Structure 1
Amino acid sequence: MLVNNLFLLKSVGINFIFTITTSILGFFLNRYFVVYLGINYLGVIKLFTEILAYLSIVDMGIGSAAAYGLYKPLAEKNYEKINIVFSTLKSIYIKISMFILIFGVVITFFLGFFIKDIVITNEIKIYWLLMVSNTAITYLFGKYITLFNSDQKFNFVKIVQGSTRIVSFLFQIILLIRFQSFLGIGILIVLESIFQYVIYSIYYRKKYSYINITKARDKTIFKNLKNLFYHKLAGLVVFNTDLILISKYVSIEIVGIYASYQMVYRMIMVLIGILIGVISPITGRYIASHSKKDIFKLFNLLNTLFIILAIISSYLFYNLISSFIGIWLGEKYILSQGTSFLITINLFIGISRQILEIFKENSGFFDDIYNPIMEAVINFVFSIILVKFYGLNGVIIGTIISNLIVVMGIKPIMTFNRAFDKGIIDYIKIYGKNLILIFFTFFIGNFLKKYFIIKILNINTWILQGVILTLLILFVTVIVFLIDKDFRKILKEKRWEK
């Protein structure tokens, strides 16, 4: 057990170091991109990333299904089964890579449809083709990543990914400063993927020489693909549609600006994801060996913790994001406080929903395919209607509406019933209580804030303001949540199962 815990801590540490380093370099890269090439080119890059995400939907979650199919045979050293599963994965990923390459070339002729206000030059078309090629290459070595992760070699994978990304970012920054080359950035991204492919191939040949490619195929891999596909499609519509709609109906400049806000948003979510990576397996083991009554108690404790985390993160994001964008990119790229508020709502929901998702998945609740479909439809319909009236804010409001109806309403009610044997009354009690605590925490925090505001002149005063506001919201949150018995249990360090 001690070895497993040390291994887990090491994995978290490696993940954290590379995440922080690549995020910091990413902020510098975005800044230099805006300075030397302009916000429109940044918008084009972010838009292309979202379009490529739609092309990647063709994999239908095959990597997750194959990983599940590899766990047992790898543990039991069942080489025949490993050969079949890996051969199946390799065959599918080659087909996916070819599909992306072919359809990516076809989309080149329709790029003007997605962009409202700039001319599609040959330079932009070549960059798009470079990004298509890069995505196709990632699927060629995707089979290796799935195999290595299934075999508990995720530290190796993270080191390779993190190291190559850091080197690539450094070269991209140098290229921007020295040559201001848009196409050069695309070439470096492709070279990064090729380098990863070479490293993974060498490691595979060295460590997995026992694997022999066979014509046999593992049909069980496709068993859960239908459910996985619906969840992936919904996630794609919810999280990878905004920039396409903004580019089509607002402007590519707003895409670049909003994407910069999203970059901060996603960095926060990545850091939360590291914590999730630790909590999820622990929760899974707990669920497997405890009653639903005890599981529900654990959910309440962790749910309280994540609500507090969401409150602190959202409060700091709302109060610091505008000044950060001003220092980072320039004051002309600051969105209105109203827009920042809408983004903050989605950030709060994005963090607070994580625990429910963990308990839902670890309880084996995967067949709710209508929830993701409903979430995707509501999000897209409201976004495409509201963007015509409210522009960028309309797109964000569309996401908020789908989040409130499905993520904060339908999904938790269903999970309460399936995972905890609890009804809608229990849902109302828990979420109603939390809503009251959240309201009072934000109300008091915003009221007291005016006494602690300092003038932000540079990054040093911004950091000082961040420290002050962090201490303030921590103090207010603790005071308000002392009302909650689950929070008091956490402070008293009582065992979760009691």
Structure 2
Amino acid sequence: MNKSRTQNSVLTIVTSGVRQGLTLMLTFVSRTIFIKILGAEYLGLNGLFTNILSILALSELGIGSAISFYLYKPIAEKNIERIKSLMVFYKKCYRIVGGMILVLGSAIIPILPKVVNFDQDLPVNLYVIYFLYLLNTASSYLFFAYKQALVTANQEQYKIEKISIYFTFINCIVDILILIIFRDYYIYLIFKFLLVLTKNFVIAVKIDKEYPYIKEKTYVPITKTEMRLFFKDIGSVSLFRIGSVLFNTTDNIIISILLGTIVVGYYSNYYMIISQITMIVGIIIKAFSAGIGNVIAKESKTKQFKIYTQLDILIFVITTICATCLFQLLNSFIKLWLGGVNKDYILSQPVVLFLCINFYFDMTTQIANSFREASGNFETGKSLQLIGGIVNIILSIILGKLFGLAGIFVATIIVKGLITVTPFLMKVSRDVFGFGKWKLLKRYYFNILILIISLLSTWIIGYKFHMRGIIDFCIECAISCIVPMVIIFIVYKNNHEMQELIHRFYKKKG
């Protein structure tokens, strides 16, 4: 029996949520052992090379987003031949991308010594370490990974999450054993690479069983006209992606050059926690994204906007609670976790505030972006991210030299707020939903006001418990969860979209 959009979304959220929760828990275990055995220098190197390779992944240029858009309709119509054609084309594109990553990644090897900035040299070969990271990134594009697009577009991500859960556990155990037994960074990275290959292969076998028709050799190649249209859409998506990457993956490089690679290691613990929370919220967004494509294909503009407002307020509630908890608890947690190792692992509270606001911006614009992509409005806002990304690099360097780490992150907040988020929401309001420019923007800035009230109220109430013992941390956790929920309830208890959303979930539960 076919499942509804909501049922598929909930299944994906539950299974992916279990996997991500396990990942978060096990990551802390392996990260703790990593720090105690290898230290902050290697942690900084890990963060730096990961960021460099994220920039190289720009070679993908939004092919995945464009293919997902083209898959929505044939999936809804059960057009197997069309799906086969797109998947073969997708496979060829990703093979090219993998090759480009290897070539471009190899080309920047000579400049590595200028980017890596330590007070003293590490007893490892930077070029070998970097090349292992490069192979890890390129292999995902060269082998199997393209098949996951079909599962995601079909809202059946839950079918492969069990495999991801198993490999999350295996990866953590292997990490710990390698670190304890060999205490060697080379062996650690080699095993990570082998596990990525194995995981992608196992998932590919599972997908082949679920969708056996994608293994068939007969297919109708897409036409040159379709290919031109496809690459036109990729051109629009790529500008958006380039800007996003310039925003989100250049900070570690700037930190390494201006402040030292070891500072990247200190920051990377905060980044790890925030990115794990980002992934958990992202699971919810991603689970609904394919459903959004289905809504765009079948429903009226009025129904589309109704569903948008429900999803928007859901993500707002989740993100506000998460941002409040992160702001209040991050330093308290880091002190309990690593404060005994080195007090330098604890960053200033203003830095934490800027990281949380950045997290809020990223999460709360994702539903609008999902509607933009699912509706095929790839032209909308395509240059905003690129312009913002370039300005962000320039401003981060200027403010980083003046104010250090806080200056780098406040630059991102200023640029996102003024150059990307505000005009982007105005364009989505007009192009996707056909309203005036201000409809989405007024909703968004009212929600930001509620976020500010939540952050201030929680800080005032929880300050006397901040960065103390384990009992105080537990009390701080309770305050950080309860205060934003109470504020949101008071403000939105009579909100129509909130009531509709609650009714929808109770209906499905019943």
Query: Could you say which TM-score interval applies, normalised by the shorter chain?
Result: 0.7 to 0.9
Return the TM-score normalized by structure 1.
Answer: 0.87
Mapped partners of 1:477, 1:280: distance in 2: 25
Mapped partners of 1:386, 1:253: distance in 2: 20
Per-residue CA deviations over 1:134-170 (Å, capped at 9, x if unaligned) read 2222112223333554566633443333422321221
Mapped partners of 1:178, 1:304: distance in 2: 48
> Quick one: which of 332, 336, 344 aligns to 2:356?
344
Per-residue CA deviations over 1:190-217 (Å, capped at 9, x if unaligned) read 1112213443565577635752278956
Farther-moved stretch of structure 1 (105-114 vs 337-346): 105-114
Assess if the C-alpha contact under 8 Å between 1:123 and 1:183 holds in 2.
no
Give the AA of the match of 1:183.
Answer: Y
| Partner of residue 58, structure 1 | 59
Q: How many angstroms does 1:81 deviate by?
A: 4.8
Give the AA of the match of 2:477.
Answer: G
Mapped partners of 1:301, 1:71: distance in 2: 21
Once the two structures are superposed, the pairs formed by residues 277-356 of structure 1 within 5 Å of their partners are 277-283=286-292, 292=301, 295-296=304-305, 299-330=308-339, 331-356=343-368
Per-residue CA deviations over 1:314-360 (Å, capped at 9, x if unaligned) read 22111110011112222431001121111122122223323332343
Assess if the C-alpha contact under 8 Å between 1:386 and 1:398 holds in 2.
yes
Please state if 1:382 is matched with 2:383.
Answer: no
Assess if the C-alpha contact under 8 Å between 2:91 and 2:146 holds in 1.
yes
Return the TM-score normalized by structure 2.
Answer: 0.85
Please state if 1:155 is matched with 2:167.
Answer: no
Assess if the C-alpha contact under 8 Å between 1:84 and 1:213 holds in 2.
no
Mapped partners of 1:153, 1:267: distance in 2: 22
| Partner of residue 136, structure 2 | 134
> Quick one: which of 158, 161, 172 aligns to 2:175?
172
Mapped partners of 1:347, 1:209: distance in 2: 38
| Partner of residue 123, structure 1 | 125
Mapped partners of 2:499, 2:84: distance in 1: 50
Farther-moved stretch of structure 1 (403-412 vs 419-428): 419-428
How big is the alpha-carbon RMSD for the aligned residues of Structure 1 and Structure 2? 3.3
Mapped partners of 2:303, 2:171: distance in 1: 48
Greater relative contact order, per chain length (Cα 8 Å cut-off, separation 6+): 2
| Partner of residue 471, structure 1 | 482
Question: 1:429–1:235: structure 2 CA closer, same or farther, 3 Å change rule?
Answer: closer
Assess if the C-alpha contact under 8 Å between 1:165 and 1:192 holds in 2.
no
Farther-moved stretch of structure 1 (150-159 vs 358-367): 150-159
Mapped partners of 1:78, 1:358: distance in 2: 23
Assess if the C-alpha contact under 8 Å between 2:328 and 2:466 holds in 1.
no
Q: How many angstroms does 1:377 deviate by?
A: 2.0
Mapped partners of 1:116, 1:302: distance in 2: 44
Give the AA of the match of 1:193.
Answer: V
Assess if the C-alpha contact under 8 Å between 1:50 and 1:241 holds in 2.
yes
Farther-moved stretch of structure 1 (470-479 vs 21-30): 470-479
Please state if 1:3 is matched with 2:17.
Answer: no
Per-residue CA deviations over 1:451-495 (Å, capped at 9, x if unaligned) read x7377423x65234302331233223323445x744774698599
Q: How many angstroms does 1:423 deviate by?
A: 2.9
Question: 1:35–1:161: structure 2 CA closer, same or farther, 3 Å change rule?
Answer: same
Question: 1:200–1:437: structure 2 CA closer, same or farther, 3 Å change rule?
Answer: closer
Assess if the C-alpha contact under 8 Å between 2:462 and 2:476 holds in 1.
no
| Partner of residue 182, structure 1 | 185
Please state if 1:401 is matched with 2:451.
Answer: no
Question: 1:187–1:93: structure 2 CA closer, same or farther, 3 Å change rule?
Answer: same
Give the AA of the match of 2:384.
Answer: N
| Partner of residue 46, structure 1 | 47
Q: How many angstroms does 1:111 deviate by?
A: 1.0
Mapped partners of 1:17, 1:426: distance in 2: 36
Once the two structures are superposed, the pairs formed by residues 415-426 of structure 1 within 5 Å of their partners are 415-424=428-437, 426=439
Mapped partners of 1:295, 1:74: distance in 2: 19
Question: 1:21–1:438: structure 2 CA closer, same or farther, 3 Å change rule?
Answer: closer
SS at 1:175's partner residue? helix
> Quick one: which of 260, 264, 267 aligns to 2:269?
260
In structure 1, runs of 5+ residues without a counterpart are none
Farther-moved stretch of structure 1 (68-77 vs 39-48): 68-77
Question: 1:447–1:92: structure 2 CA closer, same or farther, 3 Å change rule?
Answer: closer
Question: 1:86–1:366: structure 2 CA closer, same or farther, 3 Å change rule?
Answer: closer
Question: 1:326–1:86: structure 2 CA closer, same or farther, 3 Å change rule?
Answer: same
Give the AA of the match of 2:405.
Answer: L
Assess if the C-alpha contact under 8 Å between 1:12 and 1:278 holds in 2.
yes
Assess if the C-alpha contact under 8 Å between 2:9 and 2:288 holds in 1.
no
Q: How many angstroms does 1:171 deviate by?
A: 0.6
For these two proteins, the number of residue pairs brought into alignment is 493
Give the AA of the match of 2:125.
Answer: E
Q: How many angstroms does 1:405 deviate by?
A: 1.0
| Partner of residue 96, structure 2 | 95
> Quick one: which of 236, 247, 261 aligns to 1:227?
236
Farther-moved stretch of structure 1 (211-220 vs 128-137): 211-220
| Partner of residue 508, structure 2 | none
SS at 2:465's partner residue? coil
SS at 2:110's partner residue? helix
Question: 1:15–1:366: structure 2 CA closer, same or farther, 3 Å change rule?
Answer: same
Assess if the C-alpha contact under 8 Å between 1:53 and 1:240 holds in 2.
yes
Q: How many angstroms does 1:102 deviate by?
A: 3.0
